[in-house]
Structure 1
Amino acid sequence: MDADYKARQEEYGAGYEGGEPREMNDLIVATGEWLEKLVWSPTAADAAMKALYAEIVGSEDIDADPSASWRDLWRDGVERHWDSVTLQVVIELHAFAFWGLRPDLNFLEVQESDSLAASIERTIAKLRALLDAAPPGWANLAEIERTVAAAEARIRLDTGHDVTLEQLAALAEVSVKSMKNLLAPKGGSGDLKLDAKDEIARSAALHWLGQRPKFKSSLWNAAGDLPDTSSASEEPLDEVVFVPVAKDGSCFDPATCRTSRGYTIGAKGAEIHVSDYREALDQLARMKTPRWRRLNAAGGWGLVTGTTWQRRELRELALLKSPYAGSASA
């Protein structure tokens, strides 16, 4: 991974201010309100939405205040919900769409023998299906829609395909109306034209994007393709440790989990700070349920719960560097 890629990755991590988290949260709240009407029982809906919250976010907030309604839990601070896999996928696609970065492989829809491009395409398609399934009027999903359309545009352009007007507008961060004005015969922009399939030619789209100061060229291929383990060597590993892994695939590592005071571990309300990584790992191993705080894509320190353990080389963990490490403190 070259210096340009790392620099852009760090710039994205420090500057992300997307509106997708709030929109995703609003969609979940709208789902709960619909569920109340469907089952004709606020009590049943409350139980269902709390169970969903416990599965996605954790049960600590519910245990701390059992009388709180599901609305209180979901509406009271989006920053606690960053560990939703769906939201993580949206954020990864935001980095891909507008910054040209490779999505985290933990959140891609990977199938055997997939290329990286195919995995990205499948992930985008799955999120598009979510948007198509959301009933009209439930929530304003404009930011998520823009991210998905921009991701569709980038992957199509990078794999040799033409794009729709809406996709190109999203990638260029202009309105559809402005895009239509550019295509109008009187105020048009050179080669930007719709063909018989209502698409804009790839070559013309790339030329136009290249003239826009805010557009960032694709670097996701520079990060490498999906790992090929078919011919992996059988050389003995260096020193290994077992680390707890959360349901979103992230693990307790010495980079993304280190705060200004060391490592914050333990259940909410009973957290402690441990300066040494190995000591923190030992204490997590002795907990009935390992919990720790780690830096998320929003630059906040979210509390996550370990659901399994994974063997990792200590050398590999030591090389990790969070792209957000310079943007937050705890």
Structure 2
Amino acid sequence: AIHQYFASIEQRYKHGISSMDVDEIRTALDVMQVVGNDTNDLLGKINMFMRNNNAGLNANFKTYSDMLMDLDLQLKKMTEEIVNKGIINDKTKTNDTARNRYFKALKGQLDFLQHLVQQQQQQQSKSHLHNCKQLVDNCFLTLETQVNEHTKKIEKHLKWSPIDCDNINLCYNCFLSMKKNLILTSVVKSQLDNLENLVLDRVQQLKKESVDNPQAENVIPKLIAMKIMSVHIFSFKDDINKHIDEVLGVYKEKNKGGICIPKLALLLEKDRAGIGEMIVAEHAVFKGYSVSLFNVKTKSHGVDYVLEKLDIKGNKTDLTKLKTKYLEFDGKEHSFFLSHHSGQ
């Protein structure tokens, strides 16, 4: 019965560790400090009693000092893992769901550590741990340093390449998840603001350079640079696209004449990386050009080619009717444009 009692205390302690329950850990240690403290006589008397009854304590049985040593090792292991995994790791790089799951778990660990510190401060001389605060403080300080260093590293090597933009996006998303989970809120908010200013200042700079000199050879590289940011820094996609629309609007206004937008579209589509083509496809100012281009490409094949490629269920009469209707429409359209042109 005595052995079972000690085993139950140890089991309670282990459960407290696995569930990060500070109160359960403290309760187990409080009891063990009284009955299993190898600095007082009680444990020796219990041992002697059990030996006299041929029931010596199990060799694996933990004393109070054993539990303190184990708890110290557990805390060191936890803080080292937190620091080593850091802010940017395989889990936070994966996707939003995995990232939030990681930071939610990290929040639980940090709360556990803070609760231990609070218990230590409240109990003072009765506390089971004496170096807990220093261990936890160092862990938090290291995480804060990592947050700041990630932003500094981005700023130091920033050339606004797609990889640079990916790094900004990753950091920004990690900081957002940390903010959501109330981790280092003050430091994280500061770095979120820094990254936001970094991105928006760059966009404003490109926008100003485009508007100040609205010539195609100047505007195109600025538009492509902005679109790269829009694609790779997803959190700012909508804002950046609005600025692109504004640049295109100014370009259209200052380069009066209906041909300026189609010409710009043709030049953008020459971009080998495909970013220019993406601009043409996604921004409303090019809608008329895109529709016109589609019609030209379709018409160049001829009606017979198009009908041949259509997957129509039925007999050839259906295709004949379609062809007749098309030719009738095409003739009327042609006559309309001729009469409209002659009336000018």
| TM-score normalised to structure 1 length | 0.25
From the two aligned structures, give the one with the greater helix fraction.
2
From the two aligned structures, give the one with the greater strand fraction.
1
| Structure exhibiting the larger radius of gyration computed from Cα positions | 2
| TM-score normalised to structure 2 length | 0.24
Q: Which has the bigger relative contact order, CA under 8 A and spacing at least 6? A: 1
